[in-house]
Amino acid sequence: MGRPPCCDKGVKKGPWTPEEDIILVTYIQDHGAGNWRSVPTNTGLMRCSKSCRLRWTNYLRPGIKRGNFTDQEEKLIIHLQALLGNRWAAIASYLPERTDNDIKNYWNTHLKKKLMRKLQAADDHQAALISASGRNSYNSISKGQWERRLQTDIHTAKQALCEALSLDTKPCPAPPPLPPANTCNYASSTENIARLLQNWMKKSPKLPRRREISSGSSGSNVCSDTTTESPASAEKKFFAARAAKVEFRMDSDVTPELSETSFLQEESKPSSGAPVPAPALSFFETWLFEDVGNGGVGDLVDLPLSDAPDLFQE
């Protein structure tokens, strides 16, 4: 026999109302995040536990930064997407103030198109060169380009792996500015609830699309929901995130195509989620550490973007 069912039928769907938000926030303030299956029953919310978790992690959780992505964030996302594929949760671990959903949306609505345009423009330019020269210069150009890109890709991969592995000496990847432990439950919940109410009042009856409800939500009370977890659980997550970082395309044959299109990979469960074989990892680690001696790991953001930085400029 398994566990009892988590949510019964008759659960409510659709946009969350401010009342529901308040109930959920209040409950999490009192009990902490986690044990989602008990949330609907204990709060009386007619929502499935999954929906509660999603609402909390993607919207109500303190420390979520909303609004436009900065150039730095954008570049970091592009880098990480090239490295990790569409592993939004892993990517989000590098941007603690952004949710995986936000990053995913931003990628799908902005970055992918942007990069497509750039790539298209580059292709057009290349085609123009070919037709202008009247000879087949494409191969030499493209070969030179992908070789350089490949080199950059490898370099970037090494940097990322190095960062992942060097976590042993760091407390946390891209550590978010955590508030004092005792404020982490939901430090500013009162404030947040007040804001919820305020916005609710302001809003007309036809509610949803409440983007501003938690917008600007106090950068001061940044705290990840892992702070409400047991250390063991947090540690588990940490290692999972770390594993995800290490698990990048080590098993793939590096080809020009891969290098060229890494950022456009549609179906990128890169490596199809296949775990990295230990021998490959140790080889990689060895290779990596041989190289790390000269300088260590800088911020990913500061890495050169591919071989064509202009690709990412507006």
Partner DNA sequence: AAGTAGTTCAACCGCCATCTA
Partner DNA sequence: CTAGATGGCGGTTGAACTACT
What is the contact surface with DNA in residues (CB under 7 A)? 1-7, 12-16, 34-37, 49-51, 53-55, 58-59, 66, 86-90, 100-102, 104-106, 108-110, 206, 208-209, 211, 236, 240, 267-269, 273
Would you say 275 or 298 has its CB closer to DNA? Answer: 275
* Least distance CB 12 / DNA (angstroms): 7
* Amino acid at the residue 309: P
DSSP of 177-199, one letter per residue? -PPPGGGTTTTTHHHHHHHHHHH
d(CA 296, CA 195): 44
**What CA dihedral angle connects 303, 223, 244 and 111, to 10 degrees?**
-50
* Least distance CB 60 / DNA (angstroms): 8
d(CA 32, CA 27): 7
Distances (CA, A) of 132 to 136, 141, 193, 239, 267: 10, 14, 64, 54, 36
* Least distance CB 134 / DNA (angstroms): 36
- Measured in degrees and rounded to the nearest 5, phi and psi for residue 223 equal -165, 130
For residue 82, which of 280, 311, 237 has the smallest C-alpha distance? 311
* Amino acid at the residue 53: R
* Least distance CB 292 / DNA (angstroms): 27
* Least distance CB 234 / DNA (angstroms): 10
d(CA 159, CA 307): 16
Would you say 99 or 156 has its CB closer to DNA? Answer: 99
Query: For the stretch 214-239, what's the b/e string if a residue is b when 16 or more beta carbons lie within 10 angstroms of its beta carbon?
Result: beebeeebbbbbbbbbeeeebeebbe
Would you say 277 or 298 has its CB closer to DNA? Answer: 277
Structure tokens at 99: 């949710």
Do residues 213 and 21 make contact, with C-beta atoms less than 8 angstroms apart?
Answer: yes
* Least distance CB 90 / DNA (angstroms): 6
What's 215's DSSP letter?
A: T
For residue 258, which of 63, 40, 56, 83 has the smallest C-alpha distance? 83
* Least distance CB 210 / DNA (angstroms): 7
* Least distance CB 103 / DNA (angstroms): 8
Would you say 163 or 247 has its CB closer to DNA? Answer: 247
Show the CA angle centred on residue 266, arms to residues 263 and 267, nearest 5°: 120
